Amino acid sequence: MIILQLLLFCIVFTLMVKLGVGNNALNGLYFYPKPVQERVYELRLTDRQAVQRKRKIFMTAFFAVMLAVLLLIIGLWNGVRDFPTAYIQALLFLEVMNWYDGIVIDRLWVGHSRFWIIPGTEDIPFVQTWKQVLKKRSILTLIWIFGAAVVAALDVLIFGIILKG
């Protein structure tokens, strides 16, 4: 069952990214390295304010949806009410999401799809190298150790209140 849940969680992640960028990679310019962003600004394809606005909107929706889905899986679907179990499950989901993002989204989808190439920036590398992926994902692995505690505490608090009330 947990494999199915992890798969569904990653599908929601992918759908959120796709919805965030729509049919135009420029909508996700905030994901790109600074040199690509600067070239796009020079080409006047968009401006910094528009990118920052899109980033705030996307990140707010993304974190809200991913947190809600995670809490629903752990608390509702799996019926977890204790902190240690909620923590282990949250950590598993967050770590799988972390590495899925680095390998499947960054390296495979972005690295092998023409969709992500912004006209006028073809000469600027924008796909993370394996070294960059490993470094970033390793740092996030440590961060999610603490993030999982927050998710577990929310799970115990929210579903403890709902079921008692």
The beta-strand segments (E) located in 57-109 are: none
pLDDT, tens digit (0-9, with 9 covering 90-100), for 93-124: 999 999 999 999 999 999 999 999 999 999 99
Average model confidence (pLDDT) across the chain: 96
pLDDT > 70? residue 27: yes
Q: Which structural domain, as residue segments, surrounds residue 80?
A: 2-164
pLDDT > 70? residue 163: no
pLDDT, tens digit (0-9, with 9 covering 90-100), for 119-144: 999 999 999 999 999 999 999 999 99
The model's pTM is 0.94
What pLDDT sits at residue 162? 73
Question: For helices 130-164 and 83-100, what crossing angle results, to 10°?
Answer: 150
**Count of structural domains within the chain:** 1
Q: Measure the CA–CA gap between 90 and 86, rounded to whole angstroms.
A: 6
Q: Measure the CA–CA gap between 22 and 18, rounded to whole angstroms.
A: 6
Q: What residues have CB less than 8 Å from 90, skipping those under 6 apart? A: 70, 74, 147, 148, 149, 151, 152, 155
